A and B are shown apart, each in its own frame.
Chain A
């Protein structure tokens, strides 16, 4: 797909002339069993419109009932973000017409969010080493998701030019928490990485709390990037754009950088930034103009009369606070110390999103170094090859721990271990099943090894002469031949021992 390309300003020029002001809105789709206001299931990927009922289809007469687990999740996230929790708050209706929103209003929260006024510390890499930056949180509020439209026909997959549109209401009514930051200013060149770090840290927090699977590629964590530029040493804020659908951590940083360069070029050429929604295109790495927000949309918010206020009991909130899990930053510090790895190595683990799987593999008995080596090496390679996240690769930490144990026990060579992993990924069962099924075992039986050695010796008389003459390195040829004959299943060290004994060297 091609998009009209806007002129971009050189990065250094943007930084020289402008200060970025960044605001982030992150929607977290909660992993509750049922929807925000009805009992429908929330499974991802179910057949269209199979997870619906009168309430989430907005059939006349149906009424909403608040999902208590969603409220609990919102309070816990609010607490983890160091927010104050409202002792009393209401839902509000946000009124606008759109076919994928069955009621033509969204039940959200307006001026009474359940959590407000918090912060989250994030770590950004700088040339002088990692730096902690505190991001102020404006609010975190509860709302329901909309349905999903697909526009069929036409070139763009957008509604313009489409032949017809289909709406799937399975997503309508799935609980969301929207986290909104205060404007982040004075960050200059750090803006892209800071945006990425914030979304990454929030995602880690959500996962640690266990309230969402936070898969950006499936839309269960979605980021909107608000960005404006103001000329350096000018107080007045510039006009902002709101970039939607930024659905990977890498894209968050790219989108911020792109918008800074686009707006910089525009302003430098004497143009003005239009207040609008822009769409991020993952494939081409550009944003394109969407809905204009110059005419501020009037959502006619008012308190939702079908619901009663939410009034979290103070004692219950304290109970939730005391039961919060270890915060991701603390956990990272603890694991880094436990594993004894450098900052650089730790960053690599985090970038590969391998922290959880490595931790679990170690918990299943593996040596930290080995666990890290496998997940950051062979398994990362395979995940990359298959274009999936490590956690989605299809091998459990327990399996990896078992493979590592088998290697350490000398039952498998590294080559064989990789074959076992292949087998597990191919659905051949547990590592032990694959070992049995594929007959992968280090041949520990000296008799069959000796037979193979005899054959190799007989076939390579000249090499044998060299070894006897003291050129021990030549033994590799015989060992190699034996390994080949045993299809790699022999323990090379043992083969060498037996060969030397036989030749009396």
Chain B
């Protein structure tokens, strides 16, 4: 494999070293990616906002720090460009969450993730497209139009973080931040041939992450390699006193694990309930091959049953709308964002109602209604209450499985990328995309998606999901890194090299 001299084709690890050694300045690196965005984003539409001036200024600051203090003054990702999902606040930069209701809002504060990126010298290029308030699996529910899959522009890039995955897959940025409530990092990674990790719940601060479902949301890294994802994971993770649900324990050794991938002696469980019926033949085929490869690499593979996983999707679609109906109540036009119908003749209740009816899209309204219903007196026990019991059972399934094995694997998504518009009128079909990723959100366990080849029938990327126990995020990187290296050996080049030129 020959290493490209195109700055946009380099891994984040390589770019950091190029900047550190002075082979290229951070400003040159940023400019190369900004140029790439200019060239291809009209077709991909990964970005909702590109902060050219801010990115160049941040890059300039990295170059200045290097000039003053040498390479030792730089963090491991200093000068590396990144695309930030538009659900995280960044001071002074529009944050829309893909919704009309937040059009024009410029937050006065940085999310903790944003702050940590800035402090690490990561160069934030802009904000990426997403399904409105992260509700969706295709990025078609963005109020600002869909993002297109770089592998086939007529197909969906996954969702809700389709913008972040597509930005990485189309070489607009080597790194991106996604958020994963039911699979919004992992499923887009799977369908775009990139790597995405949902860390352990509480591993990355949610402060400044505009909440969809507070008990499920988790921000995490998107990248083209396992090591790059680990480097980004290490930058954004760690305790934050501003987030009560943030875990006050050391960050798992993710970079170490990614640098020394090895599955020899590891016990890997294939989740029986997450294979077979409903999974596209080519997806299943690539998954089976990868499991065989893990065995070849020295892992001990067994089948494991998680009997309550089939109920996870239904429980999720009660818990998520319930929390979301309450979380989205603050969007009322009173203090920020859109205000509709305030012509001096209407009461405050009417203005609130009109603002919400105008500002929210169909999927947001659907979930607010579902959640309001599920929490209502007389229905609470049957819906929200039962769903919480299922959640406990799913968590117990994980616990029992991790008694037998170190990690679990499954296909990340049941299918490869489908056509834009194919499932837009069928919410249930859309929800089924997340059937394999949702259990980890319910249990708070970490999960990774890794490209494992193209489905023979459509030539589109397939993803494999690795799941680990709470706070064992490093195991994801150990397994993912080992598989990635073995695949690269087999293919001779990263899978993304096979994507069509844009």
Tell me the complex Cα distance, A97–B333, Å.
12
A60-B332 contact, Cβ under 8 Å, with A300-B376, A305-B213: no
Closest to A52 in B: B335
* Of the residues A62, A95, A296, contact of B329 by C-beta under 8 Å: A95
Residues of A within 8 A of B241 (CB): 65
Residues of A within 8 A of B325 (CB): 95, 300
A63 within 8 A of B: yes
B322 and A62 contacting across the interface, CB-CB below 8 Å: no
Interface digits, B86-113 against A, CB 8 Å rule (1 contact, 0 not)? 0011000001010000100101110100
B311 interface residue (CB < 8 Å to A): no
The reply to whether the CB of A59 lies closer than 8 angstroms to some CB of chain B is yes
CB-based contact A63/B332 at 8 Å: no
Q: In chain B, what residue has the closest Cβ to A97?
A: B352
| Distance of A482 from chain B, by nearest CB (Å) | 73
Taking CB atoms and an 8 Å cut-off, the chain A residues in 55-92 that contact chain B are 57-66
B180 CB-CB contact with A under 8 Å: no
In Å, the complex CA distance between A21 and B375 comes to 32
Q: Mark A38-61 against chain B: 1 for CB-CB distance below 8 A, else 0.
A: 000000000000000010011111
**Are the CB atoms of A57 and B377 closer together than 8 Å?**
no
Contact yes or no, B210 A61, CB < 8 A: yes
Report if A298 contacts B (CB, 8 A): yes
Query: Chain A interface secondary structure, helix, strand, loop or mixed?
Result: loop
> For A275, what are the chain B residues with a Cβ–Cβ distance below 8 Å?
none
Choose among B111, B213, B245, B376 the residue that contacts A298 (Cβ–Cβ < 8 A): B376
Q: Chain B contact residues: over half helix, strand or loop, or mixed?
A: loop
- Given the known interface contacts A63-B207, A97-B349, A99-B348, the answer about A54 and B326 at a Cβ–Cβ threshold of 8 Å is no
Q: Which residues of A contact B332 (CB under 8 A)?
A: 97, 99, 104
The answer on a CB contact under 8 Å between A302 and B107 is no
Q: Does A103 belong to the interface (CB within 8 Å)?
A: yes
Measured between beta carbons, the chain A residues less than 8 angstroms from B331 are 60
Q: Return the chain B residue nearest A94 by Cβ.
A: B326
The reply to whether B376 and A306 form a contact with Cβ atoms under 8 Å apart is no
**B326–A93 touching, CB < 8 Å:** yes
Q: Does A308 contact B (CB under 8 A)?
A: yes
Interface residues of B, count at CB 8 A: 44
A94 to chain B, nearest CB (A): 10
Query: Which of the residues A62, A105, A301 comes within 8 Å of B208, measured between beta carbons?
Result: A62
Name B205's closest neighbour in chain A (CB-CB). A63
Tell me the nearest residue of chain B to A164, going by C-beta.
B344
Q: Are A60 and B210 in contact (CB under 8 A)?
A: yes
* Segment 283-331 of A: residues with Cβ below 8 Å from B: 296, 298, 300-302, 305-308
- CB atoms of B244 and A63 under 8 A apart: yes
Distance between B127 CB and nearest chain A CB, rounded to angstroms: 13
The answer to whether the Cβ of A165 comes within 8 Å of any Cβ in the partner chain is: yes
How far does the alpha carbon of A302 sit from the alpha carbon of B376 in the complex, in Å?
10
Are B242 and A59 touching (Cβ within 8 A)? Answer: no
Mask: chain B, 109-140; 1 = CB below 8 Å from A; 0 = not: 10100000000000000000000000000000
B336 touches A63 (CB 8 A): no
The reply to whether B108 and A54 form a contact with Cβ atoms under 8 Å apart is yes
Chain B residues whose CB sits within 8 angstroms of the CB of A301 once the complex forms: 375
Give min CB distance, B89 to chain A, whole Å.
Answer: 5
User: Quick check: A308 and B326 within 8 Å, CB to CB?
Assistant: no
Q: Which residues of the other chain, A, contact B323 by a CB distance below 8 angstroms?
A: 302, 305
Shortest CB-to-CB span from B389 to chain A, Å, is 14
Point out the residue from A61, A165, A167, A305 that lies within 8 Å of B111, measured CB to CB.
Answer: A61
Alpha-carbon distance between A167 and B334 when the two chains are bound, in angstroms: 10
**Which of A59, A60, A104, A306 neighbours the largest number of chain B CB atoms within 10 Å of its CB?**
A60
- A298 vs B384: C-alpha distance in the bound complex, in angstroms? 15
> Interface residues of A, CB < 8 Å — how many?
31
For chain B residues 278-312, which have a beta carbon within 8 Å of chain A?
Answer: none
Cβ < 8 Å to B, chain A residues 209-232: none
How distant is A112 from chain B, measured CB to nearest CB, in Å? 14
- A305 with B330: CB separation less than 8 A: no
How far, in angstroms, from A301 to B374 measured CA to CA in the complex?
11
**A105-B329, A302-B322, A302-B380 known; A60+B244 contact, CB < 8 A:** no
Q: Which residues of B contact A66 (CB under 8 A)?
A: 244
B214 touches A305 (CB 8 A): yes
CB of A306 within 8 A of CB of B244, answer yes
- A102 on the interface (CB 8 Å rule)? yes
A305 & B215 in contact (Cβ 8 Å cutoff):
yes
Contact of A306 with B105 in the complex, beta carbons under 8 Å: no
Q: Given A66-B244, A104-B332, A308-B245, is A302 in contact with B384 using a C-beta cutoff of 8 Å?
A: yes
Q: How far is the CA of A99 from the CA of B352 in the complex (A)?
A: 9
Given contacts A65-B242, A95-B375, A305-B323, contact A165 B108 (CB under 8 A): no
| Residues of chain B within 8 A of A64, CB atoms compared | 244
A294–chain B nearest beta-carbon distance, Å: 15
Interface mask (B215-240 → A, CB under 8 Å = 1, otherwise 0): 10000000000000000000000000
Which residue in chain B gives the minimum CB-CB distance to A66?
Answer: B244
Bound state CA distance, A189 and B467, in angstroms? 68
Say whether B35 faces chain A, with CB atoms less than 8 Å apart: no
Residue of B207, B334, B352, B377 near A61 (CB, 8 A) is B207
**How far is it, in angstroms, between the C-alpha of A285 and the C-alpha of B293 when the chains are bound?**
84
Cβ–Cβ contact A300 & B108, under 8 A:
no
| A64 to chain B: closest residue by CB | B244
A63 to B329, CA, bound (A): 15
- As a 0/1 sequence over residues 313 to 357 of chain B, the CB contacts with chain A under 8 angstroms (1 = contact) are 000000000110110011110111000000000001100100000
| B89 and A61 within 8 A (CB) | yes
B17 contacts the other chain (CB 8 A): no
The reply to whether A300 and B88 form a contact with Cβ atoms under 8 Å apart is no
Note all chain B residues with C-beta closer than 8 A to A99. Answer: 332, 334, 348, 352
| B207 closest partner in A (C-beta) | A63
Closest CB in chain B relative to A66 CB, distance in Å:
7
Q: Is B206 an interface residue (CB 8 A)?
A: yes
Chain B residues, CB < 8 A from A93 = 326
Asked if B375 and A300 make an inter-chain contact with CB atoms under 8 angstroms apart, the answer reads: yes
Closest chain A residue to B351, Cβ basis: A99
- The answer, yes or no, to whether B256 is at the interface (CB within 8 Å) is no
B372 at the interface (CB under 8 A from A): yes
Chain A residue nearest to B102 (CB atoms) is A60
Determine the distance from Cα of A308 to Cα of B325 in the docked complex, in whole angstroms. 20
Given A60-B97, A61-B107, A305-B323, are A104 and B209 neighbors across the interface (CB < 8 Å)? Answer: no
CA distance A99 to B109 in the complex (A): 23
User: Is B362 engaged at the interface, CB distance under 8 Å to the other chain?
Assistant: no
For A159, what are the chain B residues with a Cβ–Cβ distance below 8 Å?
A: 348
Q: Does B243 contact A (CB under 8 A)?
A: yes
Closest residue of chain B to A160 (Cβ to Cβ) is B347
**A104 to B377 alpha-carbon distance, docked (Å):** 18
Chain A residue numbers with a CB within 8 Å of B111 are 61
Q: Are A306 and B211 in contact, with the CB atoms below 8 A?
A: yes
Cα A159 to Cα B97 in complex, Å, equals: 33
Selected from B215, B243, B326, B372, the residue in CB contact (under 8 A) with A63 is B243
Minimum CB–CB distance for A100 against chain B, Å = 9
Neighbouring B residues of A307 by C-beta, 8 Å: 244-245
- Does A300 lie within 8 Å of B372, measured CB to CB? yes
* With A95-B375, A97-B352, A300-B375 as contacts: A58 and B244 at CB distance below 8 Å: no
Q: Is there contact, CB below 8 Å, between B330 and A104?
A: yes
Bound state CA distance, A246 and B335, in angstroms? 31
A305 to B108, CA, bound (A): 24
For B375, list chain A residues within 8 Å (CB).
95, 300-302
Besides A59-B107, A60-B97, 8 other A-B contacts (C-beta < 8 A):
A60-B95, A61-B88, A65-B244, A93-B326, A103-B329, A105-B326, A300-B376, A308-B245
Identify 22 residue pairs between A and B in the complex whose beta-carbon atoms are under 8 Å apart, listed by A's number.
A54-B109, A60-B89, A60-B102, A60-B330, A61-B88, A61-B109, A61-B210, A61-B211, A63-B242, A63-B243, A65-B241, A95-B325, A95-B326, A97-B329, A102-B334, A103-B329, A300-B326, A300-B375, A300-B377, A305-B323, A306-B245, A308-B244
> Which 4 pairs of residues, A with B, have the shortest CB-CB distance?
A104-B329, A300-B375, A305-B214, A305-B215
Residues of B bordering A, CB below 8 Å: 88-89, 95, 97, 102, 105, 107-109, 111, 206-211, 213-215, 241-245, 322-323, 325-326, 329-332, 334-336, 348-349, 352, 372, 375-377, 380, 384
